Amino acid sequence: MLLNDAHRAALLDVLTWRRDVRHFKTDPVDQEVLDRLRATMDLAPSVGNARPWRVLQVKDADKRAAITADFETENAKAAALYSDDARRDYNALKLSGMHDAPVHLAIFTETAPREGRGLGRQTMPETLAYSTVGAIYTLWLAARAENIGLGWVSIINPERIKQILQTPDTWHLTGYLCLGHAEFQDDTPLLHKTGWQENVQTHWKTV
Ligand SMILES: Cc1cc2nc3c(=O)[nH]c(=O)nc-3n(C[C@H](O)[C@H](O)[C@H](O)COP(=O)(O)O)c2cc1C
């Protein structure tokens, strides 16, 4: 299949308007949309084609509450690392949409997958986690194309999340994702917009 200008323009729109979303409406996401999103993760590249990502959709109210409480605890600890003005600025940031997002996905990496038969990861076992990140980004873009926002939450204690979700020892937490309809659309990262940071460009040098 040869792709044309219209494909390139559409891809650029998806990339430009993808955001890390933390402000969600509580409206549910249609199951057919979720099914399509799940299928797009199969399209992601992975080391040795191992597809080591393991996805748990967290629906149980008690588990969601425990995970949200863990975020609050870890976020307060992170805030305490800053002093004075920086802490005030940090506390003004909204760093998770867990309370409102209708869909919560805990994404793990199976660190000892049979799939792939070890190919490609002997010298760099971390490529399994990299593969999972690729699958998350695939999901992220596919969600944007469905007009569904996605927010990545990393301010959590991985061991606590594993305990709450009772996962196998070989599963390593890669990311916790919130999905749902976004409150607003933007083409600029929120951390830049709120003045937390300057926007930085890709460091790329020819040597
Ligand atoms: C690995 C990873 C972890 C992240 N963890 C968080 C998080 O815990 N809370 C949050 O608000 N944003 C988190 N983000 C989102 C980033 O802050 C966001 O991608 C960045 O500010 C650029 O904004 P944009 O995604 O809208 O372009 C995470 C992003 C990545 C890739």
Nearest CA to ligand 1 atom 31: 152
Residue type, 33: V
Mutate which of 17, 24, 152, 200 for ligand 1? The one with the most ligand atoms within 8 Å of its CB, which is 152
pLDDT given for residue 199 in this prediction: 86
Shortest-distance atom of ligand 1 to CA 197: 21
Residue 155 in contact with ligand 1 by CB distance below 6 A: yes
Digit-coded pLDDT (tens) for 37-93:
999 999 999 999 999 999 999 999 999 999 999 999 999 999 999 999 999 999 999
- Mind listing the domains of the chain with CATH numbers? 19-183 (3.40.109.10)
In the chain, count H helices and then E strands: 7, 4
Q: What is the pTM of this model?
A: 0.98
Does residue 46 contact residue 205 with C-beta atoms inside 8 Å?
no
Q: Kindly tell me the sign of the dihedral angle through the C-alpha atoms of 78, 21, 198, 141.
A: positive
The yes-or-no verdict on residue 149 having pLDDT over 90 is yes
Q: For residue 96, how far is its CA from the centre of ligand 1 (angstroms)?
A: 9
Rounded distance, CA 140 to CA 108, Å? 16
Average confidence score pLDDT of the chain: 97
Polymer length of the chain: 207
DSSP 106-129: EEEEESS-STTTTTT-SS-TTHHH
